[in-house]
Amino acid sequence: MDNLNELQNTVHQYRKALDAFESRTGHLPQQVEARGSGEEREKIAHMDADLSVIEARAESAALRARIAKLESQPMFQSATPSSIRGGDVNDRGSEAYAARWLSAIVRGDSSEMRSLSLASSGAAIPTDLERRIVAKLQQANVIRGMCTVSTIDSKRSIAVENALPTTSLVAENGSMTASDPSWGTQISVVPYKYVTAVQMSQEFIEDAIGTGGIGTGLNYVADRMGLSIGLAQEEAFTIGSGSGQPQGIASDAVGVLLASASQVTDLSAAAVTTVTGDNLIDTVHLVAPQYRASPRFSWLISDTFLKVVRKIKVNTTDYVWKVGNEGGITGGAPGTIYGVPYRVNQYVKTATANGNVFAIVGDFNYFEIFDRTGMTSMMDPYSAAANHKTTLYMYTRTDSHMMLTAPFAAITC
């Protein structure tokens, strides 16, 4: 009982901290690790550690008793709201909702999962679980850490200006001809759906999760799902065509847009190994100075591209890449290319094919990810019932777009 009381108290403090973050910032609770203050992130990390210690310390006899109680319930009988305590059973941030969702998973109760569903979508997952998945998704996704990430609740079209309004220097009492900015470009944001499935034996669910809260077994599943979703979205954010999927920042389509704006260093179908120091310098200076001053002005490159740049030499003996105060192409700072920070992405293309984007540099404030509000879940206890397994599906929706071409330039094949 002491362990249960301690667990309930920790979970209560956990939710208070998340509510305080949401009230202070207006962001969803699951974004605390990406957008919270240092103090908030440290507090959440400590409570995560406390939860793990409490759960690991729980007595096996108590766990078996909880499982036995669950097994005594009818397989497909929904729990009634009056039988659950700890808040609104329809509020996915409440203890009651988390207990109800976990109970449905443990019992393989598809009718209960349906009762948790909203309209045509699946059952929304508990807030704490979503936050943990999002944290893993952030770890697996390089581009998310570079660009602007927004949360939307529907499809939408975003108007983007083509030209600025007129500003003129005039004499006293002089006149000018004003012009409005041009808004000829409309970017359509369509959250594309990603689904991740994990198949779990009923023994794993019962032994690892229990009903006292989010247990270590479910954390493991959340971690794996988060990494899988993150990698799938990272590929789309990098090379997605923009047709039936997000638009990738280093995609062929973006290469065409930048080429039409004369913001491409074309290697004329040559391999990535032909990149020179001149190519790097020329590409950076294709971007206007006001964008180069941004803290988010960065290179996005492959590991192969990085290796090629590090091997650039003078007179075949002296490497151009130097660190510290030795000067060279890093501009006196390690971890930069011509003074510009870089991030390595496994999906940037390296093959010698005409139009491939080998590297892109720019202000990533102008590449935006649009996440549809909330993750949902669906449970299938039937398809693998012969093996006593349940399949848990997790759904998330997102889109990405280059909002302006001017802040970017690329090295293409």
How far, in Å, CA of 265 to CA of 26, rounded? 42
Most confident residue range from 117-131, 165-179, 308-322, 345-359: 345-359
pLDDT of residue 41: 77
**Statement: residue 332 has pLDDT above 80:** no
Confidence of residue 320 (pLDDT cuts 50, 70, 90): confident
- Which token pair is 73? 């319930």
Confidence of residue 136 (pLDDT cuts 50, 70, 90): low
Residue 56 burial by CB count (10 A; 0-12/13-18/19+): exposed, middle or buried? exposed
- Which token pair is 99? 């207990």
Total Cβ atoms within 10 A of residue 272:
23
Q: Buried (b) or exposed (e) across 184-197, using 16+ Cβ within 10 A?
A: eeebebbbbebebe
HSE value, Cβ hemisphere, 13 Å, CA-based, for 23:
6
Instruction: Look at 22-36, 92-106, 332-346, 381-395 and tell me which has the smallest mean pLDDT.
Output: 92-106
pLDDT of residue 2: 62
Q: DSSP readout, 221-264?
A: HHHHHHHHHHHHHHHHHHH-BSSSSPBPTTSHHHHHHHHHTT-E
- Mean pLDDT computed over 288-303: 95
**Statement: residue 316 has pLDDT above 90:** no
Q: Into how many domains does the chain fold?
A: 1
Whether residue 192 is contained in a domain is answered as no
pLDDT of residue 46: 75
Tens digit of each residue's pLDDT (9 = 90 or more) over 80-95: 333 333 455 556 656 6
Residue whose pair of structure tokens reads 């034996």 in the numeric block: 201
Task: Give bridge partners of residue 402 from the DSSP assignment.
Answer: 367
Looking at per-residue pLDDT, the higher value among 113 and 211 belongs to: 113
Whether residue 162 is contained in a domain is answered as no
Looking at per-residue pLDDT, the higher value among 132 and 306 belongs to: 306
**Statement: residue 307 has pLDDT above 80:** yes
Confidence of residue 47 (pLDDT cuts 50, 70, 90): confident
Whether residue 22 is contained in a domain is answered as yes
**Are 230 and 136 a contacting pair, CB within 8 Å?**
yes
- Which token pair is 165? 């309004």
Nearest Cα to Cα of residue 377 among 154, 133, 210, 191 = 133
pLDDT of residue 14: 73
Confidence of residue 410 (pLDDT cuts 50, 70, 90): very high
**Statement: residue 283 has pLDDT above 90:** yes
**Are 86 and 99 a contacting pair, CB within 8 Å?**
yes
% of residues, the chain, pLDDT over 70: 66
Whether residue 15 is contained in a domain is answered as yes
**Statement: residue 398 has pLDDT above 90:** yes
Whether residue 9 is contained in a domain is answered as yes
Q: Which residues contact 184 (CB under 8 A, 6 or more apart)?
A: 162
What's the Rg (C-alpha) of the chain?
26
pLDDT of residue 296: 94
- Mean pLDDT computed over 398-413: 95
Q: DSSP readout, 42-93?
A: HHHHHHHHHHHHHHHHS-HHHHHHHHHHHHTS-TT-PPPGGG--SS-TT-TT
Determine phi and psi for 94, rounding to 5 degrees. -95, 160
Determine phi and psi for 218, rounding to 5 degrees. -70, -35
Q: What is the mean pLDDT of the chain?
A: 77
Confidence of residue 20 (pLDDT cuts 50, 70, 90): confident
Nearest Cα to Cα of residue 3 among 67, 74, 52, 68 = 52
Residue 266 burial by CB count (10 A; 0-12/13-18/19+): exposed, middle or buried? middle
Instruction: Look at 3-12, 62-71, 259-268 and tell me which has the smallest mean pLDDT.
Output: 62-71
Whether residue 390 is contained in a domain is answered as no
Whether residue 23 is contained in a domain is answered as yes
Most confident residue range from 91-105, 195-209, 339-353, 362-376: 339-353
| Enclosing domain of residue 37 | 1-58
- Mean pLDDT computed over 318-338: 63
- Mean pLDDT computed over 290-315: 93
pLDDT of residue 300: 97
Whether residue 392 is contained in a domain is answered as no
pLDDT of residue 109: 64
Confidence of residue 256 (pLDDT cuts 50, 70, 90): very high
